[in-house]
Amino acid sequence: MSYNNIKIFQMTMEDFSNIKHILLHDFDDFWNVQTFEEELKNENSYYLVAKIDNTIIGFAGMKIILDEADIMNIATRKDSRNLGIGSIMLEKLISIAKERGIKKLMLEVNEKNINAIHLYKKFNFEEISTRKKYYDNMYDAIIMQKFL
């Protein structure tokens, strides 16, 4: 796989149709298909896809509320992780947020999700609080923010 071939596009419903049946298996995504589809249709949401040739290898999205946005989801296809694709997508999401006048990005992440926490810290997201036992009544959610 050539790293240089990665292109980022705004996610379309056609993109979603192409990946909805492989979300859990290939992307390890934690949302069900219906929740994802509703998010995608929400006028305050912005989702992007990373493609190599015509194949979707990642997606990421945020929900914009006035001058703040919540990063709702980011996932790289399982067989393409740790190659920098998550970083490319997050960088693009941050730059789109800046273009849209967003002042602050927020997110929450499972304390067990070391890879995601590493990615967010790399982009200078700061931990501001935790929600105890938020996931499966067992693991804390870490709330992070970044001012743009």
Ligand X SMILES: CC(C)(COP(=O)(O)OP(=O)(O)OC[C@H]1O[C@@H](n2cnc3c(N)ncnc32)[C@H](O)[C@@H]1OP(=O)(O)O)[C@@H](O)C(=O)NCCC(=O)NCCS
Q: Which residues bind ligand X (CB under 6 A)?
A: 28, 74-76, 81-87, 109, 113, 115-116, 118-119, 122
**Rounded least distance, CB 83 to ligand X, Å:** 5
List beta partners, residue 51: 7, 56
C-alpha span between 140 and 120 (Å, rounded): 16
CA distance 127 to 20: 31
Task: For residue 122, give the nearest of 75, 79, 89 by alpha carbon.
Answer: 89
> What is the closest distance, in whole angstroms, from the C-beta atom of residue 88 to ligand X in the complex?
7
**Which is nearer to ligand X, 41 or 122 (by Cβ)?**
122
CB of residue 42 to ligand X, shortest distance in Å:
18
Q: Which residue has its beta carbon closest to ligand X?
A: 86
Residue type for position 129? S
Q: Name the residue nearer to ligand X (CB basis): 135 or 148.
A: 135
